[in-house]
Chain A
Amino acid sequence: QMTQSPSSLSASVGDRVTITCRASQSISTYVNWYQHKPGKAPRLLINAASTLQSGVPSRFRGSRSGTDFTLTISSLQPEDFATYYCQQSYNNPYTFGQGTKLEIK
């Protein structure tokens, strides 16, 4: 079980935002983060809690503290407005968090 917060977030270009997922049990670093835009396929941004995928800008960062996992986007860009999901891949079924919709303020 992954509890993601907030469910929505309004921010401006240039802002720093943080999205959090809390696991219901210890899951080591088996957390992945995705970006999803309407009408497009989801995009893997970060896996293993903090490994940035090839081609993903360095303003995206993933971190872990115990069972809390955080996606931080420093200096938001217009193309970052989307919905973000965490996912645990420690135990099948590999569940997603509820999603965070990031909107322009």
Chain B
Amino acid sequence: EVQLVESGGGLVQPGGSLRLSCEVSGFTFTKHWMTWVRQAPGKGLEWVANIKQDGTEKWYVDSAKGRFTISRDNAKNSLYLQMISLRVEDTAVYYCARDLGESGDFGMDVWGQGTTVTVSS
């Protein structure tokens, strides 16, 4: 069964850090771009970052640049999102997702259940 399982969410103070993980199973991880998407309370989906199969190419939404780092460990079938300098507006449910297509440009067909990040004092 194809599965993505996120972990690492929680409550953190503004300015703090958090590292999200996404463990995948049931498919060949090294064949897919991977993406993080978030949804803040009462808001729509926001694409956050993606990473190429070998980790050599990464893209970020402007609000994440310089603060978030996406990475992957292909030996562990795991995707990560390191977040520093967290802001209240980073409060959201964070999803990891599998991208379709060699270049990751045909949508995200498998999603995790999400992990909740709350940034509050």
- A residues whose Cβ falls under 8 Å from a Cβ of B: 30, 32, 34, 36, 41-44, 47-48, 53, 83, 85, 87, 89-90, 92-99
Contacts and interface: CB of A to CB of B under 8 A. Distances in A.
Nearest to B39: A36
Given A42-B111, A44-B107, A92 B50 contact: yes
Contact of B45 (A30, A48, A53, A85): A85
A41 B95 contact: yes
Contact of B59 (A41, A48, A85, A92): A92
Given A44-B107, A87-B107, A98 B47 contact: no
B1 interface: no
**Residue among B62, B107, B109 with max Cβ neighbours from chain A (10 Å):** B107
Chain B interface residue number, banded: 20 to 34
A89 B44 contact: no
A3 to B, nearest CB: 13
A34 B45 CA distance: 10
Contacts of A83: 44
**Residue among B60, B100, B104 with max Cβ neighbours from chain A (10 Å):** B100
A24 to B, nearest CB: 16
B108 interface: yes
Contacts of A43: 111
A96 B105 contact: no
Interface string B43-73: 0111101100000000111100000000000
B44 to A, nearest CB: 4
Interface string B4-19: 0000000000000000
Given A42-B111, A94-B50, A89 B45 contact: no
A43 B113 CA distance: 11
Nearest to B43: A99
B113 A41 contact: yes
Given A41-B95, A41-B113, A96 B46 contact: yes
